[in-house]
Structure 1
Amino acid sequence: MSDRSAPRYTLFGLAIIVLVVAIAALLARPAQSDSQGKADTAARPANTLQSLAELDGKAPSRRQLNIQHWTTAEGARVLFVEARELPMFDLRVTFAAGSSQDGGTPGLATLTNAMLNEGVAGKDVTAIAEGFEGLGADFGNGSYRDMAVASLRSLSASDKREPALKLFTEVVGQPTFPEDALKRIKNQLLAGFEYEKQNPGKIAGKTLFANLYGQHPYASPSDGTAESIPGITLAQLRTFHGKAYAAGNAVIALVGDLSRGEAEAIAAQVSAGLPKGAALAKPEQPVEPKPGTTHIDFPSKQTHLMLAELGIDRNDADWPALSLGNQILGGGAFGTRLMSEVREKRGLTYGVYSVFSPMQVRGPFMINLQTRAELSEGTLKLVQDILADYLKNGPTQQELDDAKRELAGSFPLSNASNASIVGQLGAIGFYNLPLSWLEDFMQQSQALSVEQVKAAMNKHLAADKLVIVTVGPKVAQQPLPAPTDKPAEQPLGVPEH
């Protein structure tokens, strides 16, 4: 995967994890009454922070989202939220143009997306960058397994907005794909592949996806491979752009200081500037992989452990229960089952995390950690036992209540910025979720019982179906320390890699 406006993310889906898991936390709750809101405003200065203790069980105040939607003449779906607080707007265009559409040429989607802002008619990459900068605008783009995105943040005044939109439309809709830029970006990717050979996390992640997905498009690294990248041609990029960046394959999300009429004009301009074409078909569902463990020898003081199995797609009705169940198991920070048993009681790791990554089709459920090499086998069995016990017995009522409270408290920050809202809108449109999804998710999550969470986790996960990858040295193993409130050997201060 690739993100041209930010540091590159780890292989095993952090971009998708950030998009999907963050959106899972961007959950609405019942609004306060007008009288309650006025009372709270009178009780404190307008700019003070609202603490969880102060809430005393009440739902935090939140920003109301009136999502408007329509379809452009060319077939692009549009979602818009008017937000007048700041004189600016955020635009995010999401295409079903991720690496799952590579069609047997790994890296094609990533290269196409990376080349968007390398040249348009009359402007090279430097002139494009200076054009956005001179208008106070910010352009971003990225490519992942399911999707590719292009984004624009600009001032909403017409003298800034109009030229920024014109340049954005040219970059996304009519890139020239200069040959010298293609050579440079290929060299950057190839250099990255060499670096990854020294990164056990990258090695583990690539192997895990290959073992988990087999012949499915999700199995291939989003960035491609050292074998596939050199042979990709300009003609292939232009063909891919023509079909994958078509208006009918796009979702346009807009948030900011715009009227409905201005938003319609922006969406129409962007849509008309894209190639003409229909939406691409999503990938087929993957087949169940064969469980088992793959070890890769790597000189290190630590061993990287990754455990996974197929999870759910983004439209699965069990997502609220699974999200909350995973939050208790290992999806949060301290206090989760995994963190408590593996780090806090035994000092075996700096951090251990679990995550569901729902995608267009069944995305992975993963557990990820590093531990001292001489304790790796015992740590792996401990993690497997914790998962098995959690599936057998489910969460406690207290764990569920705490998870619901944490989930409710996270929402005000999640929709505090236009950038976070435009990301939510893009995901709602891309995964064809109902416009009420944010509200629905929170209401469904807050209504869940212990038995419902347990049933959902057991429906989609099994302790004996895990695909496991370990990367580290082969060393004599030592027994695990007994659990204690004060581990004799504290975890390393930072991960080794």
Structure 2
Amino acid sequence: MLHIAQKHLLRAATIGLSGLGALGFTPLAAHAVEIQRVVSPQGIEAWLVEDHTVPIIAVNFSFKGGAAQDPDGKEGVTRLLASTLDEGAGDLSSEDYQARLEDLAVSVSFDTGKDYFYGTMRTLAPTRDEAFDLLKLAINEPRFDTVAVDRMKTQLAVGIRRQDRDPSSIASRNLLKAMLGDHPYTHPTNGTEESLGALTSKDLADQKDRIMSRDTLKISVVGAIDAETLGPLLDKAFANLPETGDLKPIADIKPLAGQKVTASLDVPQANLLFGLPGLTRDDPDYQAAFVMNHILGGGSFTSWLYEEVREKRGLTYSTGTSLSPYDAGGLMLGSAATRADRADETLAVILEQFERMATDGPSQSELDSAKRFLIGSYPLRFDASGKIARQLIALQNAELGIDYFDRRNAEIEAVTLEDVKRVAKRLIAGKVPSVSIVGPSEG
């Protein structure tokens, strides 16, 4: 029997965009949207936003255990798994499976982060049953045919070689190594050409069994489907997965501040990345840190970094900071790109703004402006079905609760100037950011 245990309103929905755009992006009406917690007859849980404005259904799902779960020597196996699950399944070869998706105007895809493995499906409502059939095959009966696996390995190897020449990728890799040492988060998500080349179909099947299990499964569904219809379809796609996986424990990160690493590359300008220890998403100070970061570098055209580094001095086209809360710990990261001969000057101005935030903090008017923007712009995350589905998965993984949409803006509004100054001292005071610079050797 289908159970609908709980309903909440997503009050942030706004007037949808004109036109549908890509499949799965559904204009939503300008009214509160009901979020339902649906439990299928076999116990599969999903969060559902039912919307019949247009006949499209967006499904997002995740499993705990991303690229940080790659076994030693098999770096890149989770990324390769994401690339091959839809390359043939059941009795359908890669070509037949992809042709079937195209004929039905269905999209099925997979991806991985450090902590989570993700999947998506987009379908028109009239072909939902066939779409769930195809999703079931990809999740439960992937073929991992040698020809398809080798083709995906070749594509990933091309990407690895491209990243090895990309200054931002090199700077990011070097910064994480400097801050986190040999933590699994620093291992290349795409693997190396050597590790990728050694992977086999059995490696993919083994990794699938380790991370794709019901105990960590999170699902969100948005679009033209009701709870009674959704329940059996959830069972069709997910009920046959193993109850538990085999995840290895990931140690908490202990980020180092004050590190500096440089690398020479024949590029026109220097790329700067910098970082400090941050916060996990469940930290009581997270919302205050979120507001503080917006003022410091997250607010694009209104942030201190943008004003001081670009507008006043013309040192860079873009610069900013962000909070990166991982399951094993948080980071506060930033970036800038500038002329090689002005890299030191750019970095000095950035560090001045960090010190200013830790010492003085923002003014009340700056805080009020930041909160108005963060509250007013929040509905833009919910103007399409795909966006809502992604947000629902993120909230489930962060364990923020089905009522978070009702609480979020009030939590931002409740942040005081004292809160921002306190969290700035906690995160920044007495610390020098670790820095990674990649650019031409001259300058």
Q: Does 1:88 align with 2:56?
A: yes
Asked if 2 retains the 8 angstrom alpha-carbon contact of 1:63 and 1:412, the reply is no
State the Cα deviation string for residues 245-291 of structure 1 (Å, max 9, x = none).
12222111111111211121222222224344258466221123252
Contact 1:324/1:453 (8 A) holds in 2: yes
Assess, with a 3 A threshold, how the Cα gap between structure 1 residues 86 and 48 changes in structure 2: closer, same or farther: closer
Q: What residue is the counterpart of 2:217 in the other structure?
A: 250
| Conserved? CA contact 1:169–1:273, under 8 Å | no
Superposed CA deviations along residues 284-332 of structure 1, whole A, max 9, x for unmatched, are 2112325221111122331111101221222222221111111111112
Q: 1:30 to 1:178 in 2, by over 3 A?
A: closer
SS at match of 2:271: strand
Paired residue secondary structure (1:346): coil
Asked whether 1:470 is paired with 2:437, we answer yes
Asked whether the equivalents of residues 174 and 274 of structure 1 are also in contact (C-alpha less than 8 Å), the reply is no
CA shift, 1:66, in A, is 2.4
Match runs of 1:176-255 below 5 Å: 176-255=143-222
* Distance of aligned partners of 1:342 and 1:304 in 2 relative to their CA distance in 1, 3 Å threshold: same
In 1, distance between residues paired with 2:231 and 2:117?
Answer: 22
| Shift of residue 123, structure 1, vs aligned partner | 1.3
Which of 348, 353, 356 lines up with 1:389 in the alignment?
Answer: 356
The structure 1 residue matched to 2:250, chosen from 267, 277, 283, is: 283
1:327 aligned onto 2:271 = no
1:260: which partner in 2?
A: 227
Q: Does 1:170 align with 2:131?
A: no
Structure 2 residue identity aligned to 1:103: P
CA apart distance, 1:346? 0.5
**Aligned residues between the structures:** 424
| Residue correspondence of structure 1 range 61-72 to structure 2 within 5 A | 63-71=31-39
Which residue pairs with 2:400 in the alignment?
Answer: 433
Structure 2 gaps, min length 5:
1-8, 19-28
Alignment of 1:115-154 (within 5 A): 115-154=84-123
CA distance in structure 2 between the aligned counterparts of 1:300 and 1:253, rounded to whole angstroms: 43
Q: In the superposition, relative to structure 1, how do residues 397 and 75 fare at CA in structure 2: closer, same or farther (>3 Å)?
A: same
CA distance in 2 between counterparts of 1:205 and 1:73 reads: 45
Q: Displacement of 1:404 after TM fit?
A: 1.3
Q: CA deviation at 1:198?
A: 2.1
2:303 aligned to which of 326, 331, 336: 336
Are the aligned partners of 1:62 and 1:411 in contact in 2 as well (CA < 8 Å)?
A: no
Aligned-pair CA distance for 1:83:
1.5
1:139/1:151 contact within 8 Å kept? yes
Pick which of 354-363 and 454-463 moved more. Answer: 454-463
The alpha-carbon deviation at position 474 of structure 1 amounts to 3.3
- What residue in structure 2 maps to residue 12 of structure 1? none
8 Å CA contact 1:303–1:470 kept in 2: the answer is yes
Q: Which moved more, 1:407-416 or 1:394-403?
A: 407-416
Letter of the aligned partner of 2:57 in structure 1?
Answer: F
SS in 1 for 2:275: strand
Instruction: Go from structure 1 to structure 2 and tell me whether the alpha carbon gap of 1:436 and 1:257 turns closer, same or farther (over 3 Å shift).
Output: same
1:122 counterpart SS class: coil
TM-score, with length taken from structure 1: 0.80
Percent identity reads: 27
1:426-478 deviations in Å (ceiling 9; x for gaps): 112222221112222211101211111121232233462422111112335xx
TM-score (norm 2): 0.89
Distance across 2 between alignment mates of 1:454 and 1:29 = 30
Partners of 2:12 and 2:47 in 1: CA distance: 22
Deviation at 1:357, TM superposition (A): 1.2
- For 1:70 and 1:280, locate their aligned partners in 2 and report how far apart those are by CA, in whole Å: 27
CA distance in structure 2 between the partners assigned to 1:219 and 1:121 by the alignment: 35
What is the alpha-carbon root mean square deviation over aligned residues? 2.4
Shift in alpha-carbon separation, 1:452–1:225, aligned structure 2, 3 A? same
